[in-house]
Structure 1
Amino acid sequence: MNGITLVLRALHHGEKHLAKELVTVAERHATDHEVHHVALDLAAWSREHVRQVADTGHAYGLTLGDASEAPSPGVLSALREKAAEAMGHRPEPGLLLLRDLRELHLDAAQNSLYWEMLAQAAQATKDDKLLALASACHPRTLRQMRWTNTMIKILSPQVLSSL
């Protein structure tokens, strides 16, 4: 196994994990409509990244799961939504949301580093297919990071000063 296949495996795993976590956060904070809808949209991006990495991985002898293995809102969604509504009346949800956003940001940052590593390896080996993959996916990962960072900046003063 060479370095490129290691990075492709890491990206596949990381994007699949991020998609799952984004769906979980969307369901957990269903009463916050912006968080809910944006997180689901961002999860779709990560599922697309999973599919593209798996497709590219075939050229390198990798058999990676496809995007259908990445989660989407499931059967427990209604139960989580009710729990989110019940929690919406207590001060703790703000702290929980900040924690969730921090974790999402760190997950996206890890993926961003792998995308950068892949792009650098693609340039060094003159691999146009890998460079196209990184160029297509990395900007979305950076946008995922910007969203979490912006939400943390907006929410932190209100949540942390009200404790």
Structure 2
Amino acid sequence: MTTSDNTGSVLDVEIGALQGGSADLSQYAGQVVLIVNVASKCGLTPQYAGLERLHERYAAQGFTVLGVPCNQFLGQEPGSAEEIAEFCSATYGVTFPLTEKVEVNGESRHPLYERLAGYADAEGHTGDIRWNFEKFLIGRDGTVAARFSPQTEPEATEVVAAVEAQLA
């Protein structure tokens, strides 16, 4: 699949769960999902707290955050699955699901990010993921509804408004 193929649901892509087995993205069909490539040793890592608050705030309405660990940006996610899970739980109280660690750019880009990369953010950026904590909002139909830059805080007005619009 090429990055220019923006058709269909991203929820039919296969990806593993952080601690083994399938993350089974199809279970989120009919829900709103914020997919975020995450890292434990990044200047943006405190965004985990906002992601968790967003997850908790809207979970009952059919929303989830899905964290996708990635070590491609200056090796800022070097840990094992167990280390990542422990860090997220102990440091930020993360309860939202995490996938296996993947590559989001380059020749080994995971198929999920092959599908996501072709979508533009509000500034018109498409293509490669720029840094840790780039966010993709997936609508109930499984298609990308919005893309947000890594620097956009999870609880920023534009993110909350986009989530609420998808949940409406």
Same fold (TM over 0.5): no
Larger Rg, first or second structure (1 or 2)? 1
Greater share of helix: 1
| TM bucket normalised to smaller | under 0.3
Greater share of strand: 2
TM-score (normalised: structure 2): 0.27
Q: Which structure is higher in RCO with an 8 Å CA cutoff and minimum separation 6?
A: 2
